Amino acid sequence: MAAGLIAMELFDQLRGIIGIAVLMGIAWAISENRRGHPGWRWIAGALAMQGLLAVLIVRVPVVWEAVGLVNTAVSAVETATLKGSSYMFGYLGGAELPFALKEGAQPPLVIAFQILPLVIVFSALAALLWHWGVLRWMVNGLSFLLRRSLGVSGVVGLSGGASVFLGVVEAPLVTRAYFARVSRSELFQIMTLTMATISGAILILYATTLRETVPDAVGHMISASLISLPAALLIARLMVPAAADDTATEIDKEGAEADGGLRYESAIDAIVKGTMDGMQLFLAVIAVIITVFALVALVDMALALLPLVDGDPLSLKRLMGWGLAPFMWLLGVPWAEAQAAGGLMGTKAVLNEYVAYLELAALPAGTLGPRSLLIVTYALCGVANLASVGLLVSTIGTLCPERRAEAAGLGMKSWISGNLASAMTGAWIGLVSWV
């Protein structure tokens, strides 16, 4: 009996291995050239890099403590941001309440006025750090590591570094000068890297939303973006392998910086433009959330007209949960929790990852166990949703009109590859987590 329980627990812990194999199998099955995969040695290296990053970041105390220092910095910026939001919006923005709360009541948390202003502040800080060269140095450092470890071309490595810090619109600006020269495989790798990660400003927003649900959320978000880099490259090269006559597009670091497209005249110019960009993102997030919630409500109203199932009306979230429950089970989530996890994954892929994180934060206590909570948090950490497809394709098409049609043809493929990559990251974190 005891041996059987141990075997079941071991299977639950290691089930993510099956999930990773299935994810790779899906990528290979829909590949443009099933015989043109990058080779088993390279595939093994990419998998080993994912596992090494997962263990190194999450399980090595010194590294995790270093990553955790970001939480302190984020808390400081959050406190400073509340100073500005409370001045502008009063108690809705975090200032002292002008009235007494009822016994047991909690102070109001207004997302638009207390959490979303972080996007504006971090966007300004990111622009300033880019102008000072700090962010460029970090992007080039990640690019160097990807080129040395996985042998990707310079432009793909630079795109990978940029995607961790910059958004769907900003990241392509760093490599805009090379879009006309990259191969189809390289273009798809760039698109997948963008889809499988989240930018620094949005990362902070999501982590702040989850701070009461996921301990050290900022550190986990950073970890997810880093682990997703080799996962994205692996999935992308399985789905759109390099042609036999492709030659890697090489760039030198100085030229990449000079032609990057992200330029500011001064520190003040960086702050002002970063603030304006952050304001656009702020308004976009508000608009998307309002629209998504309204559309989901309309769909749920239509589904409620159908016969009840198990005594409850059908809903979009229930349907997504049922459809993706086996998928989440393969990633390592116990079956009893797989439907809730599947609903969140469906919300992320079809609607928006921030809406999925809002739903995750609102789940009743105990819906997901500690390990499942980490798996879901990592699996949701990417911008691969339908709206991002249009945004990414239009951005590349604007920067390089001659590749617009090709980018459009790869758009839905990048949606699939981005979700497969972030799901693979979730599976890896389940393998190295024994919480």
pLDDT in tens, the chain (435 residues): 566 556 666 666 788 899 999 999 999 999 998 887 788 899 999 999 999 988 888 777 777 777 767 667 767 777 888 888 888 888 777 777 776 766 655 566 566 777 778 778 878 888 888 888 887 888 788 888 888 888 888 888 888 888 887 777 677 777 777 888 889 999 999 999 999 988 776 777 788 888 888 888 888 888 898 899 999 999 999 999 987 655 555 554 433 443 455 678 899 998 998 888 888 878 877 887 788 788 888 988 999 898 888 788 888 888 888 999 999 999 999 999 999 999 999 889 888 888 899 899 989 888 999 999 999 999 999 988 888 888 888 888 887 889 989 999 999 999 999 999 999 999 999 998 764
Name the nearest CA neighbour of 251 among 125, 153, 319.
Answer: 153
CB burial of residue 23 (10 Å; 0-12, 13-18, 19+): buried
Distance, CA of 47 to CA of 131 (rounded, Å): 35
Question: What is the pTM (predicted TM-score) of this model?
Answer: 0.84
Distance, CA of 267 to CA of 54 (rounded, Å): 36
pLDDT value at residue 216: 81
**How many CA atoms lie within 13 Å of 323's alpha carbon, on the beta-carbon side?**
13
Rounded to the nearest 5°, which phi and psi values hold at 407?
A: -65, -40
Q: Please report the DSSP string for 46-111 in residue order.
A: HHHHHHHHHHHHHH-HHHHHHHHHHHHHHHHHHHHHHHHHHHHHGGGGTPPPSSPPPTTPPPP--I
pLDDT value at residue 221: 86
What is the amino acid identity at position 366?
Answer: G
pLDDT value at residue 265: 86
Domain positions in the chain: 23-94+108-432
For 348, the token pair is 């992320």
pLDDT value at residue 238: 94
Q: Is the CB of residue 193 less than 8 Å from the CB of residue 420?
A: no
Q: Is the CB of residue 205 less than 8 Å from the CB of residue 354?
A: yes
